[in-house]
């Protein structure tokens, strides 16, 4: 049996894009992941499917496992020969008890490594537009825990030195003790009018920033029931937020948008929405499956020289086609005898990854426009191989046949509904705090409708829909969804642009 090892890994402050390359490498090789409250689903998704995920998070006084039990868990998992990732929010050695865990691993003779993470102490203020140092304000900064070990006989914080010793003070986990912290600092000589900021859920689309003079901050936080997790920043640099607030001013900041694409395809749309500040709830409504019978496609691939055109209507079709080619010991050269038609730029881009460029790309990226372009090019008497999903519409095969083409239609894959909604989607529906749902095909509409069950009526009345094109929009409207957005350019980029224009015209949420 292989020898186990523990990696003490910093997951970063919340934005999954801030996790380090080495942290991702560790996660991708993990047999077990022992994770905290602040390690979110996008980061955990990097672990292998077979990896054991064990939640040991702590929220205030609610501890899933005591620290001693966490230490024992790490040792036990390593003793089983497992590669263990202890995934901690921020950095494991900055108020993360990583040092204590490392000591226990050493005592037990368990090999370990430390993978530093981007600490919330620096990242969260940066996302709030607050540089911790600035040569016009201060060259010193101090990091302080907002709650010390309650078993300690007396505080180790020298408030008098802290109040005068650093230009910027950053307290982590300090919301509960905020009145005590501010009072102690003022009592020790810090100017009561010193600018201060509380930043909740920093670096995420749920970020909320409260600013006030030090003497007023605790009272204002109590008024709005400001809750953890939050970072407290005190110092003149807080005033720079009025100029440098870059994150909370993004066009989709704070908007909660459901993405219904397949798990494999959601990434591109999700990343684009996230880059504009949205909170993305991934809810795959489609799963891809092989066709029930590979025979028709195999026979077509064996007889490619008999065809004039190969028509591809989705990136999934391209991927499935090439996987089948590779299975048969062939590659892109097998497609040399035929001209290629792609329904849109996403399909063309997928072809480009295999070194191919379509001979035909329609002006509009729908089946009707592709049909018009093929007919205009003269398909009468041509033999056309149409490779697509088993459940696709009949517009192309019927239209091509009517134009005099001989059409061979083959399924490269099937689109099936998942058995149930994701946990993330269930939580968003329970909270009733979605702002928009995106649909990128008719099947995403019909499958979500089915998955919603008894909640479908509420969802259709309350949650506006954004559709990638007119066919999808028509399906959504016929199903009773409230279509508020339709992309003018039928691509993911076009959909994202249309979503931003919609929220800009309807007004954004203030932080």
The structure tokens listed for 230 are: 């939050």
Q: How far apart are CA 185 and CA 151, in angstroms?
A: 23
Element (H, E) at 497: helix 492-506
What torsion do the CA atoms of 227, 229, 233, 237 make, to the nearest 10 degrees? -100
Q: Six-digit token pair at 219?
A: 């009272």
Distance CA 105, CA 99 (A): 10
Catalytic: which of 173, 258, 350, 435?
173
- Measured distance CA(369)–CA(362) in Å, rounded: 6
Catalytic annotation present for 258: no
Q: Is the peptide bond between 229 and the residue preceding it cis, with omega within 30 degrees of 0?
A: yes
Query: CB under 8 Å to 398, separation ≥6 — which residues?
Result: none
The DSSP line for 379-438 is: -TT-EEEEEEETT--SHHHHHHHHTT-EEEEEEEEEEE--SS--HHHHHHHHHT---EEE
Whether 36 is catalytic: yes
- Out of 58, 220, 250, 364, which one is annotated catalytic? 58
The pair phi, psi for residue 343, each rounded to 5°, is -70, -25
Q: How far from 345 is each of 56, 158, 219, 341, CA to CA, in Å?
A: 45, 62, 55, 11
DSSP for 463-485 reads SEEEESSHHHHHHHHHHT-EEEE
Q: Which of 36, 91, 435, 449 is catalytic?
A: 36
- φ, ψ at 15 (rounded to 5°): -65, 115
58 catalytic residue (yes or no): yes
Residue 293: other Cβ atoms inside 10 A: 11
Catalytic residues: 36, 58, 173
């Amino acid at each position: 049996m292989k020898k186990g090892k523990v990696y003490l890994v910093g997951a970063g402050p919340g934005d999954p894009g801030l996790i380090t390359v080495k942290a991702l490498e560790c996660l991708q090789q993990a047999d077990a992941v022992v994770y905290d409250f602040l390690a979110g689903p996008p980061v955990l998704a990097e672990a292998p499917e077979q990896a054991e995920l064990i939640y040991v998070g702590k929220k205030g006084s609610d501890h899933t496992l005591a620290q001693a039990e966490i230490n024992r868990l790490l040792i036990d998992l390593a003793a089983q020969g497992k590669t263990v990732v202890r995934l901690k929010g921020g950095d494991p050695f900055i108020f993360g008890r990583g040092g204590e865990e490392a000591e226990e691993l050493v005592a037990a003779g368990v090999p370990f490594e430390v993978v530093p993470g981007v600490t919330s102490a620096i990242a969260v203020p940066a996302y709030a537009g607050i540089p911790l140092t600035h040569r016009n304000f201060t060259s010193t900064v101090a990091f302080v825990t907002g709650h010390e070990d309650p078993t300690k006989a007396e505080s180790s914080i020298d408030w008098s030195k802290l109040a005068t010793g650093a230009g910027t003070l950053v307290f982590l986990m300090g919301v509960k003790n905020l009145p005590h912290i501010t009072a102690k600092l003022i009592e020790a000589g810090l100017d009561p009018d010193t600018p201060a900021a509380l930043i909740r859920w920093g670096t995420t689309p749920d970020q909320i920033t409260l600013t006030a003079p030090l003497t007023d901050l605790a009272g204002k936080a109590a008024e709005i029931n400001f809750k953890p997790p939050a970072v407290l920043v005190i110092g003149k640099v807080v005033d720079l937020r009025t100029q440098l607030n870059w994150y909370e001013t993004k066009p989709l900041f704070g908007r909660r948008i459901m993405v219904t694409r397949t798990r494999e395809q959601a990434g591109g749309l999700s990343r684009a929405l996230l880059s504009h500040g949205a909170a993305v709830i991934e809810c795959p409504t489609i799963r891809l499956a092989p066709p029930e019978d590979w025979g028709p496609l195999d026979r077509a691939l064996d007889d490619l020289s008999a065809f004039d055109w190969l028509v591809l209507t989705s990136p999934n079709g391209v991927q499935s086609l090439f996987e089948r080619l590779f299975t048969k010991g062939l590659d892109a050269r097998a497609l040399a005898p035929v001209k290629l038609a792609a329904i849109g730029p996403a399909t063309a881009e997928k072809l480009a990854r295999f070194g191919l460029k379509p001979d035909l790309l329609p002006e509009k990226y729908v089946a009707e426009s592709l049909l018009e372009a093929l007919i205009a090019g003269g398909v009468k008497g041509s033999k056309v191989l149409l490779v697509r999903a088993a459940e696709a519409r009949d517009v192309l095969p019927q239209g091509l046949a009517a134009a005099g083409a001989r059409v061979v239609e083959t399924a490269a894959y099937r689109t099936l509904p998942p058995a149930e909604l994701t946990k993330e989607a269930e939580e968003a529906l329970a909270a009733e705090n979605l702002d928009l749902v995106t649909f990128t095909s008719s099947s995403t509409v019909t499958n979500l409708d089915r998955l919603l069950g008894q909640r479908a009526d509420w969802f259709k009345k309350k949650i506006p829909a954004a559709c990638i094109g007119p066919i999808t929009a028509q399906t959504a409207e016929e199903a009773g969804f409230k279509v508020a957005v339709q992309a003018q350019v039928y691509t993911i980029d076009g959909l994202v642009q249309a979503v931003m224009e919609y929220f800009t015209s309807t007004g954004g949420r203030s932080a």
